Structure 1
Amino acid sequence: MIYTPMNKIFSFILLLCFSLILSSCGQEEEQQRKMSEEPTPRVITMQPYGPPVKGNPAPDFTLVDIEGRTWTLSELKGQVVFLNFWATWCPPCISEMPSMQNLYDTLPKDQFKMLAILYSDEAGNAKDFVKKLDITLPILVDEGNQVGMNYGLTGVPETFILDKEGIIREAVKGPAEWDSAESIHMLRGYIDQ
């Protein structure tokens, strides 16, 4: 075979291509080896909170009220607990608040705790509101709305009644007349258990 400049160029290109193919095969094998040695990334899936179910324990929380006191739900075991989620911009919440105050004044404080949890609202609004209506029940502030999300709120007002063991016994969506004979009878039933 006679080597011409064209043959030399062709041979050089062929040799170069062959070298590249061989070197890339080695790199691919090296990448596969490294990948098999590296740990596989873990995927963590978060389970969203669903609404609490009657008969199950209530989600625990710690919140601060508008007076600066800290409340932890689990520390209230042994008492019936009334949790009401509300907001100052919510007319039904405002309309049920006087009946809640009457209920709060009626039932024994050593066996019954009422906590009104301000949801999706500003603490300053609640302070003005309680002064106007002379509300004395504890108003807790759900900063970031996490507690409300844990309780699966679909709106406000929503109320949960917990027995002395912290089990959800009643869940009420919307406003109610909390100082009615039926409501007082129902709550006294849980207190007397």
Structure 2
Amino acid sequence: MKKKKRLVMRSVILAIMLAAIVYTLYANFTKETRGKIAVGDKAPDFILSDMNGDQHKLSDYKGKGVFLNFWGTWCKPCEKEMPYMNNQFEVYKNQGVEILAINVAEPEFAINKFVQKHRLTFPILKDTNKDILNLYNVTPLPTTMLINSEGTITAIETGELSEAKIRGMMESIKP
């Protein structure tokens, strides 16, 4: 009786492990096509709070160009491009171009320390549960998406951006 119980238990554990392996393989092989955001798509709408508790709804920016940046404080390329983004934000903010920088699931203390260190003046939005990161299917960080005044994604860039590249991107979505 004891041997039979042990056999059943081992079979159940083996079945669970096989199911997990099959699911992992399926998820990895289909992630490229599943929910992928592409240039030409309408940018999915979202609402996130900034560091002051103010809410930002993407669709409220219709009529403006949006430089949508996903980042983390631990990400060295993100840290390097932030001052360039801030410089260009100061140039383009009165020309109908906005920056929305979405921090991915980090504590407010870490974000605030980073913002103060780099004296950032554009809105920093908090994606505390990675909902927007997943909605936009973003990997890796940093990833920047340009959204034109009609709400259409016109470019997707991954990796660190130079100041000249950011300037050109801002210019391209200026209404």
TM beyond 0.5: yes
Q: CA deviation at 1:75?
A: 0.8
Unaligned runs of 5+ in 2: 1-30
Q: 1:71 maps to which residue?
A: 56
Equivalent residue runs for 1:15-26 within 5 Å: none
Unaligned runs of 5+ in 1: 1-47
Q: Structure 1 length normalisation: TM-score?
A: 0.70
Q: CA deviation at 1:183?
A: 3.6
Of 111, 117, 129, the residue aligned with 2:102 is 117
Identity of aligned residues (%): 34
Of 63, 81, 86, the residue aligned with 2:71 is 86
Equivalent residue runs for 1:105-184 within 5 Å: 105-109=90-94, 111-177=96-162, 179-180=163-164, 182-184=165-167
Stretches of 4+ aligned residues off by more than 6 angstroms: none
Q: CA deviation at 1:132?
A: 1.4
Q: Distance in 2 between matches of 1:190 and 1:130?
A: 25
Q: Deviations over 1:74-106 (max 9, x none)?
A: 110000000000000111111111111111111
C-alpha RMSD over aligned residues: 1.6
Q: 1:171 to 1:126 in 2, by over 3 A?
A: same
Q: CA deviation at 1:122?
A: 1.7
Q: Structure 2 length normalisation: TM-score?
A: 0.77
Q: Deviations over 1:143-184 (max 9, x none)?
A: 20000001111121000000001100010011101x31x542
Q: Distance in 2 between matches of 1:170 and 1:190?
A: 10
1:52 is aligned to 2:37:
yes
Of 166, 170, 173, the residue aligned with 1:187 is 170
Q: Distance in 1 between matches of 2:58 and 2:94?
A: 15
Q: 1:134 to 1:173 in 2, by over 3 A?
A: same
For 1:188, give the aligned amino acid: E
| Structure whose alpha-carbon radius of gyration is higher | 1
Q: Distance in 1 between matches of 2:110 and 2:136?
A: 23
Q: Deviations over 1:21-65 (max 9, x none)?
A: xxxxxxxxxxxxxxxxxxxxxxxxxxx962211001011100000
Q: CA deviation at 1:110?
A: 5.3
For 1:191, give the aligned amino acid: K
Q: Distance in 1 between matches of 2:60 and 2:151?
A: 10
Q: 1:101 to 1:59 in 2, by over 3 A?
A: same
